[in-house]
Amino acid sequence: MASDGVPRKVGVVGYGRLGQSLVSHLLTQGPELGLELVFVWNRDPGRMAGSVPPSLQLQNLAALRERHPDLVVEVAHPQIIQKSGAQILRYANLLVGSPSALADQATEQRLLEASRRWDHAVFVARGALWGTEDITRLDAAGGLQSLRVTMATHPDGFRLEGPLAAVLSTGHRTVLYEGPVRGLCPFAPRNSNTMAAAALAAPSLGFDRVVGVLVADLSLTDRHVVDVELSGPPGPTGRSFAVHTHRENPAEPGAVTGSATVTAFWRSLLGCCQLPSRPGIHLC
């Protein structure tokens, strides 16, 4: 709810697994939380038929200003952020659900410029990244030396492009990519969002020094597994501070989003509605 008691107007871009869940939450719980759903846009409008009230269906994304949103939530594809993110910021704060788009430096720059110019915030959903605040704090204190995010699931859960699409899973567990997150995002745009969120949480390392590892594992038919490993510089005894989290998230076979991540997105939406509209990129 806005501080003046006026409901915040929220638009949703994308009506897949995440979009449907957020729209359902907004329709059922939004009014009591001071949130009003003002539009839903999907590339294929037919998908909204029967579940999104016709008056809320937006046929043309370029017409979103007519709905006067305070916040636009992107849960579609990084391409939407790359093509339309800066334009959306002209009219509203933006909650980015596909932060792999920001691995493209020109896109990140365009969003930052639009954010400053129109005085709107770019919020980034932490999604499946566990420990986001801790990573950010450690980074800000100069205590982060390395950060590595490994995402493993069944090969059916991947939507890979370019050279990665041609990599064959040869065994039970195959490492498809290991290297800077920036190099992975263009080829796994829908499976690198957690790593992209880590790169944004740790700006001292960023997309070029946070390491992403993508693993195809035939045994992981029903879950997504994310390991976050980080270390600080060696202390006086020569030992380093180190953290390793291991997150197992149940997921429908073949889905790009696990069930706990759907809940995390709703919390991110609620969370960013409580934050001030400050220019810049903010994880939530």
Ligand X SMILES: NC(=O)c1ccc[n+]([C@@H]2O[C@H](COP(=O)([O-])OP(=O)(O)OC[C@H]3O[C@@H](n4cnc5c(N)ncnc54)[C@H](O)[C@@H]3O)[C@@H](O)[C@H]2O)c1
3-state SS, residue 244: strand
Nearer to ligand X, 59 or 79 (CB): 79
Looking at residue 15, what DSSP letter applies? -
- For ligand X, the closer CB: 30 or 127: 127
CB-facing half-sphere around the CA of 121: CA atoms within 13 A: 17
Output 119 or 133, the one with its CB closest to ligand X: 133
Pure H helices in 103-226: 105-118, 132-140, 162-165, 181-184, 193-201, 206-209
**How far apart, in whole angstroms, are the C-alpha atoms of residue 14 and residue 43?**
7
SS3 60: coil
Residue 235 has which token pair?
């202390």
Please identify, using beta-carbon distances, which residue of 129 and 142 lies nearer to ligand X: 129
Please, which residue, 115 or 268, has the CB nearer to ligand X? 268
Give residues in contact with ligand X (CB under 6 A). Answer: 14-19, 42-44, 47, 75-80, 97-99, 125, 127-128, 190, 193-194, 197, 256-257, 261
Q: How far is the CB of 171 from ligand X (least distance, A)?
A: 26
The rounded radius of gyration (Å) of the Cα atoms in the chain is 19
